[in-house]
Amino acid sequence: MAIAPNPAPDSRPSEDPLQANIPPIRQGCLAAAYYGQRRSGDFYDCLRVNHDRVLFGLFDVAGRLPETRPIMLALQGSFRARGSTLLSASGTNEIDALLELWVELNYALMKAAGGVRSCPAFLCCYNDEVKILSYVNAGHNPGLFWDGEGVRELGATALPLGLFSHTVPDASMIGLGVGNSVLAVSKGVVEAKHRGEEFGLERVKGYLEKTGFETAHETCVGLVARVQQFMGTAPTHNDVTAMALVRSQ
pLDDT for the residue numbered 138: 98
Give the chain's domains with CATH numbers.
19-247 (3.60.40.10)
- The whole model's pTM is what? 0.89
Q: How many CA atoms lie within 13 A of 176 on its CB side?
A: 30
Q: Nearest 10 degrees: CA dihedral of 119, 9, 100, 30?
A: 70
What separation in angstroms does the CA of 191 have from each of 3, 43, 240?
23, 17, 9
pLDDT in tens, 7-56: 333 334 446 777 889 999 999 999 999 876 666 688 999 999 999 999 99
pLDDT for the residue numbered 17: 75
pLDDT in tens, 219-245: 999 999 999 999 987 666 567 899 999
pLDDT for the residue numbered 236: 62
CA 243, 122, 153: angle at the middle one, nearest 5?
A: 80
pLDDT in tens, 100-154: 999 999 999 999 999 999 999 999 999 999 999 999 999 999 999 999 899 999 9
What separation in angstroms does the CA of 240 have from each of 33, 45, 180, 228?
8, 15, 23, 9
Percent of the chain having pLDDT more than 70?
90
pLDDT for the residue numbered 65: 81
